Structure 1
Amino acid sequence: MNRAATVLLTALAPVSWGTTYAVTTEFLPADRPLFTGLMRALPAGLVLLALARVLPRGIWWGKAAVLGALNIGAFFPLLFLSAYRLPGGMAAVVGSVGPLFVVGLSAVLLGQRPTTRSVLTGVVAAFGVSLVVLKAAGALDVVGVLAALASAASMSTGTVLTKRWGRPEGVGPLALTAWQLTAGGLLIAPLAFLVEGAPPALDGRAIGGYLYLALANTAVAYWLWFRGIGRLTATQVTFLGPLSPLTAAVVGWAALGQALTPVQLAGMALAFGATVVGQLRQRTPGATAGAPIQTFSFTEKNARKDSMDVTGPALRR
Structure 2
Amino acid sequence: MKLADILIAILVAIIWGLAFVASRIALDEFSPELMTAMRFLIAAVPCLFVRKPKIAWSLLIAISFTLFLGQFLSQAYGIAHGVPVGLTSVVVQSQALFTIGFAALAFGERPTPVQTLGVVIAAVGLLMICGTVGYDFSVAAFGVLMIAPVSFAIGNVLLRGARGVPMFDLFAWLCLTSAVPLFALALAVDGPAPTWQAVIHMSLRGLMCLLVIGAISTSIAYWLWGRLLRDYPAAQVVPFALLVPFVGSAASSIVFGEKFGPLRLAGMLTVIGGIAVMVLVRRPHALPNTA
User: TM-score with structure 1 length normalisation?
Assistant: 0.73
1:304-315 equivalence runs, <5 A: none
How far apart, in 2, do the equivalents of 1:158 and 1:8 lie?
27
Contact kept, 8 Å, 1:243 with 1:272, in 2: the verdict is: no
Q: What is the aligned length?
A: 282
1:60-99 equivalence runs, <5 A: 60-85=56-81, 86-99=83-96
Mark the CA change 1:205 to 1:129 in structure 2 (over 3 Å): closer, same or farther. farther
RMSD: 3.5
In structure 1, the partner of 2:15 is 16
Mark the CA change 1:269 to 1:251 in structure 2 (over 3 Å): closer, same or farther. same
User: TM-score with structure 2 length normalisation?
Assistant: 0.79
Contact kept, 8 Å, 1:37 with 1:77, in 2: the verdict is: yes
* Mapped pair 1:224 → 2:224: yes
Of 153, 164, 183, the match for 1:156: 153
Structure 2 unmatched runs, 5+: none
CA deviation vs aligned residue, 1:32-59 (integer Å, no higher than 9, x gap)? 000000111122112x3245x22233x4
In structure 1, the partner of 2:40 is 41
Contact kept, 8 Å, 1:22 with 1:252, in 2: the verdict is: yes
Contact kept, 8 Å, 2:133 with 2:139, in 1: the verdict is: no
Mark the CA change 1:30 to 1:144 in structure 2 (over 3 Å): closer, same or farther. farther
Instruction: Quote how far apart the aligned CAs of 1:103 are.
Output: 0.8
In structure 2, the partner of 1:309 is none
Paired residue type of 1:56: P
* Partner-residue secondary structure (3-state), 2:171: helix
Instruction: Quote how far apart the aligned CAs of 1:159 are.
Output: 0.9
Of 114, 117, 137, the match for 1:117: 114
Instruction: Quote how far apart the aligned CAs of 1:106 are.
Output: 1.3
* Mapped pair 1:144 → 2:141: yes
Contact kept, 8 Å, 2:47 with 2:169, in 1: the verdict is: yes
Instruction: Quote how far apart the aligned CAs of 1:21 are.
Output: 3.1
Mark the CA change 1:159 to 1:96 in structure 2 (over 3 Å): closer, same or farther. same
* Partner-residue secondary structure (3-state), 1:89: helix
Instruction: Quote how far apart the aligned CAs of 1:154 are.
Output: 0.7
1:44-63 equivalence runs, <5 A: 44-46=43-45, 48-51=46-49, 53-57=50-54, 59-63=55-59
Paired residue type of 2:163: R
Contact kept, 8 Å, 2:77 with 2:141, in 1: the verdict is: yes
Identity of aligned residues (%): 26
In structure 1, the partner of 2:282 is 282
Structure 1 unmatched runs, 5+: 294-316
* Mapped pair 1:184 → 2:161: no
Mark the CA change 1:128 to 1:18 in structure 2 (over 3 Å): closer, same or farther. farther
Paired residue type of 2:169: A
How far apart, in 2, do the equivalents of 1:172 and 1:70 lie?
19
Contact kept, 8 Å, 2:114 with 2:281, in 1: the verdict is: no
Name the one with the larger helix percent: 2
* Partner-residue secondary structure (3-state), 1:55: coil
